[in-house]
Chains A and B, each alone.
Chain A
């Protein structure tokens, strides 16, 4: 029976992968690219040299951070779609702190900047959390709306109050902030590449999240409220409070992801800095089964996918929006497959079907 269970699980996952890859191939064919050649480029292109590999990890850092936050919120029964906006608010807060206190030493300024990022994202997400807990506002809708609002606030500030005075002097008017002081930069891990120490921070935080959620009473309360709100309430857990806490924490991770991207890669607030990490992070979190141990490899995998997609855009002219299609399909496939993975009833049906198809074999090996 156990063998069958494993085979069943593997079968569901295989079907899911085939469905996602097939849908992607359809779209690739529609834009006139060869699906196999494109997939080969996406999955092997970035691995050809050191720079490609470090680029994968550069993408993985914000993905890990955002996905950790999303895992916290999903596990606690509140769905955070607003990571994109929370990242932007984190970047704004981090930029403001870094530019306001340029004289501080590195050891003091950098933590402050990162903290400001987390605070910015957390407070922005808190709006949705409080609205859900107090007024029952659907958090999916409110976080999506907050994304649009944050994007507008971001461009407003970058075009107006926070614009680099140099841009105004030269008259080019590119909407970007001043360069951050060096004391607010994250160090480089591999010289000559963009890989920064944010990777270590992300890995440490993955362990921290695991301990917080799975090894403390506090984390158990959050997960209990998410798993079954009624039972949790009966056990004396304030479900409303844990919804708000989870949302703020989730936003803090997204804001931190923004601050890390700012201090590690770009060193100034620019347009399109979040480049869809907020949405990709949702896919990474689901792909990693909402668990840190799954999220880290999932983030590396999607980092590969993102770098590979950039490469195919350059080499084969496949629009990079393609990645959005793939992510959408992957979400649909994951949530569908999830219902079959732990479904004893569907499992039994498949077992019976197999038994009917091959009666002799089932008596020997599967029963």
Chain B
């Protein structure tokens, strides 16, 4: 394999590889911008992956088979919104400790997906998943065409979500509200913003996006479901929010960095340099710790009230 070929492979594989992280991480960005640290992201991704897998699996031969993927995505979004609501109830209304509650939500989502999977499906089975759709014209651009414009629709959607999230967060009244309740909830409150309602909305949006991230894993990336399909990607997504400094563009960079590191390692192995499989699996997790250690400066610029519940009646 020539060097250019390997480079091309890393890029064209790395771009779709980043999508699950990108979607979940953009969602988590909205949560954190609104002041809620949602570690349950991983559990939401598990449920999203499982529920997205169900419709295409059961409709395989039926008349509705063509809609399997669409129904799956809808189910994943619905599950994400519901789990986001549950997390909002616990952390916003009941004002519970967000870190511990997040671990609870992660166990709940992970366990529930595994329980239902084992009961209704049992073994590993594949689904057809979503096929690539080359953008006419653009896909024929040499090199770039294959890297950017020859993927399934979810990839395009995820990359369009980057500018869309940026616009939503920085250029719309709702985005301003989100940033306000995460930075100065008391001031937002006295300006007539319902802090808790905005936090609820942000958590529902974040949940929906985490659900979609999970759905991408089962429908597009692995085209099957397994207990450990998500494998902590939800936690990596949370870390990427720090790395990206709560900014969609930074998060895109982080997600790409992660997936390129993954594909680079894959192609090094394919290229004949062997190192133990376990160390390859370990790589992203080590990278997260490194990234978090280096993101010290970034944390100063994070939402000031991140992780602190808002109590309207409390006086300081």
Q: Are B100 and A335 in contact (CB under 8 A)?
A: yes
Task: Verify A32–B238 contact, CB threshold 8 A.
Answer: no
Q: Are A32 and B94 in contact (CB under 8 A)?
A: no
Q: Write the residues of chain B forming the contact surface with A, with a CB cutoff of 8 angstroms.
A: 39, 43, 86, 89-90, 94-97, 99-112, 114-116, 118-119, 227, 231-232, 235, 238-239, 242, 276, 278-279, 281-282, 285-286, 288-289, 292-293, 296, 299, 313
Asked if A145 CB lies within 8 Å of chain B CBs, one says: yes
Interface contact A332-B90, CB-CB below 8 Å? yes
Contact call A327/B96, Cβ cutoff below 8 A: no
Which residues of B sit under 8 angstroms from A329, Cβ to Cβ?
104, 108
Per the bound structure, the CA–CA distance linking A30 and B112 in Å amounts to 10
Q: A319-B115, A325-B107, A330-B104 are in contact. List 9 more A-B contacts (CB 8 A).
A: A79-B99, A144-B232, A148-B232, A159-B278, A282-B100, A325-B111, A328-B108, A328-B112, A335-B100
Say yes or no: A279 contacts B232, CB within 8 Å. no
Chain A, residue nearest B97 (CB)? A335
Which residue on A lies nearest to B109, using beta carbons?
Answer: A328
**A-B pairs with the 3 shortest C-beta distances?**
A324-B111, A328-B108, A331-B104
Separation of A336 and B94 alpha carbons in the complex (Å) = 5
Point out the residues of chain B lying under 8 angstroms from A145, CB to CB: 232, 235, 239, 285-286, 288-289
Q: Chain B residues near A321 (CB, 8 Å)?
A: 111, 114-115, 118, 227
B107 touches A31 (CB 8 A): no
Contact check, A142 vs B292: say whether CB atoms are below 8 A apart: yes
Contact A27-B112, Cβ < 8 Å, known A331-B101, A335-B96: yes
Contact B111 A322 (CB under 8 A): yes
* A335: B residues at CB distance < 8 A: 90, 94, 96-97, 100-101, 104
A146 touching B289, Cβ below 8 Å: yes
Nearest residue (CB) in B for A30 is B116
Task: Give me the interface of A with B, judged by CB distance under 8 Å.
Answer: 27, 30-32, 79, 81, 131, 135-138, 140-142, 144-146, 148-149, 152-153, 155-156, 159-160, 279, 282, 286, 317-319, 321-332, 335-336, 338-340, 345
Q: How far is the CB of B260 from chain A (nearest CB, A)?
A: 19
Q: Which of B43, B95, B106, B114 is close to A339, meaning CB atoms less than 8 Å apart?
A: B95
Q: Could you tell me if B296 and A136 are in contact, using CB atoms closer than 8 angstroms?
A: yes
**A146-B239 Cα distance, complex, nearest whole Å:** 14
Complex formed: what's the CA distance from A135 to B293 in Å? 6
Q: Would you mind naming 10 contact pairs between A and B with Cβ atoms under 8 Å apart? A: A30-B116, A31-B116, A135-B292, A137-B292, A141-B39, A148-B282, A149-B286, A321-B227, A327-B104, A328-B105
When C-beta atoms are compared, the residue in chain A nearest to B281 turns out to be: A152
B115: contacting residue among A31, A142, A152, A160, CB under 8 A: A31
Considering the chains assembled together, what is the distance between the CA atoms of A100 and B270 in angstroms? 37
Report whether B111 and A332 are in contact in the complex, using a CB–CB cutoff of 8 Å: no
Please determine whether B103 and A160 come into contact, CB atoms closer than 8 angstroms: no
Task: Determine the distance from Cα of A131 to Cα of B286 in the docked complex, in whole angstroms.
Answer: 13
From the candidates B43, B97, B278, B281, name the one contacting A328 in the complex (CB within 8 A): B43
**B103 lies within 8 A of A148 (CB):** no
- Kindly list chain A residues whose C-beta atoms are within 8 Å of the C-beta of B282: 148-149, 152-153
A303 to chain B, nearest CB (A): 18
Q: Give the CA-CA distance A79 to B37 in the complex, in Å.
A: 14
Interface contact A340-B111, CB-CB below 8 Å:
no
Interfacial chain B residues near A137, Cβ < 8 Å: 289, 292-293
Q: How far is the CA of A146 from the CA of B288 in the complex (A)?
A: 10
- On whether A323 and B111 interact (CB within 8 A), knowing A30-B116, A156-B278, A329-B104, the answer reads yes
Q: Is B292 in contact with A141, judged by CB distance below 8 angstroms?
A: yes
**Distance between B190 CB and nearest chain A CB, rounded to angstroms:** 20
Instruction: Please give, as numbers and ranges, the residues of chain B lying within 8 Å of A136 by CB-CB distance.
Output: 296, 299
Distance between A258 CB and nearest chain B CB, rounded to angstroms: 19
- Chain B residues near A330 (CB-CB < 8 A): 104
> Which residues does chain B contribute within 8 Å of A152, judged by CB atoms?
278-279, 281-282
Chain A residues positioned under 8 Å from B101 (CB to CB) = 331-332, 335-336
In the complex, how many angstroms separate the beta carbon of B316 from the nearest chain A beta carbon? 14
B280 to chain A, nearest CB (A): 9
Residues in B neighbouring A323, C-beta threshold 8 A: 111
Q: Name A336's contact: one of B43, B96, B102, B232 (CB within 8 Å).
A: B96
When the two chains form their complex, are residues B105 and A332 in contact, meaning their CB atoms are under 8 A apart?
yes
Instruction: Please measure, in the bound complex, the distance between the C-alpha atom of A18 and the C-alpha atom of B191, giving whole angstroms.
Output: 39
Q: How far is it, in angstroms, between the C-alpha of A328 and the C-alpha of B100 when the chains are bound? A: 10
Q: What are the residues of chain A within 8 A of B43 when measuring CB–CB?
A: 328
Q: Which residue of B lies closest to A142 (CB)?
A: B289
Residues of A within 8 A of B111 (CB): 321-328
| Shortest Cβ distance from A144 into B: residue | B235
Known contacts A81-B103, A319-B114; decide if A131 and B293 are in contact (CB<8 Å): yes
For residue B113, which residue of chain A has the nearest CB?
A: A321
Residues of B within 8 A of A332 (CB): 86, 90, 96, 101, 104-105, 108
Q: How far is the CA of A153 from the CA of B283 in the complex (A)?
A: 12
CB-defined contacts of A131 to chain B, threshold 8 Å: 289, 292-293
Residues of A within 8 A of B99 (CB): 79, 140
B261 to A: closest C-beta gap in Å: 14
For B119, list chain A residues within 8 Å (CB). Answer: 30-32, 317-319
Taking the nearest CB of chain A, how far is it from the CB of B283, in angstroms?
9
* A135-B286 contact given A144-B235, A328-B108, CB 8 Å threshold: no
Residue of A nearest to B227 (CB): A321
Taking CB atoms, residues of chain B closer than 8 Å to A325 are 107-108, 111-112, 115
What residues of B have a CB within 8 angstroms of the CB of A279 in the complex?
Answer: 107
Q: Is the CB of A135 within 8 A of B296?
A: yes
A328-B296 in contact given A131-B289, A140-B99 (Cβ < 8 Å): no
A144 to B227, CA, bound (A): 17
Which residue on chain A has the smallest CB distance to residue B122? A319
Contacts A137-B292, A148-B232, A279-B107 known; A339 to B94 CB distance under 8 Å?
Answer: yes
Whether the Cβ atoms of B96 and A328 lie closer than 8 Å is no
B104 — which chain A residues lie within 8 A by C-beta? 327-332, 335
**In the complex, what residues of B have CB within 8 A of residue A317's CB?**
119
**Inter-subunit contact A141/B115 (CB<8 Å):** no
Report whether A282 and B103 are in contact in the complex, using a CB–CB cutoff of 8 Å: yes
Which residues on A sit within 8 Å (CB–CB) of B281? 152
